[in-house]
């Protein structure tokens, strides 16, 4: 973790401006083509949900602006963020929140997430020391999202990204919605003001092989040809300003 020197930080003026805003949060929603990822996970018996969490975590960590956090009025750049996601045990109607470090490969993460979720006996199991280094993930697989709000205690220094997605939609165009929420005061920059995470999210969720985050295999193996019925999910992203 690196402490940011405000006297040399190019974003210091932006930070000061947005830090004074009473509601420094906004969200964006966009669709992501997950046809190849869905086929990849189903052919290998992996959890599609855990795979989405893994790849979205890597996408967030690839964008420096998502790794800023604020502690006692000072800005720090985290080495990485940690996924914390809602999950349901088979047969249960009550969800719980699972938090665990990222693994080296998608397959390893899916196995670790499954084991942690099954073993967890409480609603929430987190280390207080890591709370501002998390990414909050949620999923509502019963309907197609167009927007979403999150429950929270209001804190203008909250810099935790929130990402959510809805129902997997095989609609012939191949996408699925995803929502990402992040305070924007530490985020606007050269990657584009509205959503610096959109491109890496599309790259990793839409083309897991090209992103280098799944097991390597020949081009086209296990991937349905484009134009033959893709599936989409809408992604919603919440940004703190």
Question: What's the chain's average pLDDT?
Answer: 75
Higher pLDDT, 197 or 211: 197
What values do phi and psi take at 202, rounded to 5? -65, -40
Q: Is 50 exceeded by the pLDDT of residue 82?
A: yes
Q: Is the pTM of this model over 0.85?
A: no
Q: 3-state class of 154 per DSSP?
A: coil
> What's the chain's length in residues?
241
Mean pLDDT within 57-72: 90
42 contacts 209 by C-beta, under 8 angstroms: no
Residue 197's pLDDT is what?
Answer: 53
pLDDT score at 31: 78
- Ranges 35-39, 103-107, 145-149, 180-184, most confident: 103-107
**Is 153:25 a contact under the CB 8 Å cutoff?**
no
Q: Which of 38-42, 142-146, 147-151 has the highest mean pLDDT?
A: 38-42
Angle, helices 198-206 vs 48-61, to 10°: value is 140
């Amino acid at each position: 973790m690196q402490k940011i020197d405000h006297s040399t930080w190019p974003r210091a003026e932006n930070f000061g401006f947005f830090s004074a805003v009473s509601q420094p949060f906004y969200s964006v929603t966009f669709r992501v083509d997950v046809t190849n990822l869905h086929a990849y996970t189903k052919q290998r018996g992996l959890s599609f949900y855990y795979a989405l969490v893994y790849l979205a975590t890597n996408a967030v960590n690839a964008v420096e602006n998502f790794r800023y956090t604020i502690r006692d009025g000072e800005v720090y750049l985290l080495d990485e963020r940690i996924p914390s996601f809602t999950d349901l045990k088979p047969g249960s109607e009550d969800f719980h929140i699972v938090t665990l470090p990222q693994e080296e490969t998608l397959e390893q993460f899916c196995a670790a997430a499954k084991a942690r979720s099954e073993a967890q006996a409480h609603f929430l199991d987190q280390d207080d020391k890591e709370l501002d280094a998390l990414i909050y993930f949620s999923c509502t697989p019963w309907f197609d999202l167009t927007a979403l709000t999150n429950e929270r205690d209001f804190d203008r220094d909250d810099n935790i990204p929130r990402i959510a997605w809805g129902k997997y939609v095989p609609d012939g165009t191949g996408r699925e919605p995803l929502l990402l929420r992040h305070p924007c005061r530490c985020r606007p920059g050269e990657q584009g003001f509205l959503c610096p995470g959109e491109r890496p999210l599309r790259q990793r969720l839409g083309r897991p092989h090209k992103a280098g985050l799944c097991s390597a295999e020949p081009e086209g193996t296990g991937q349905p040809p484009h134009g033959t019925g893709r599936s989409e999910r809408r992604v919603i992203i919440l940004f703190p300003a």
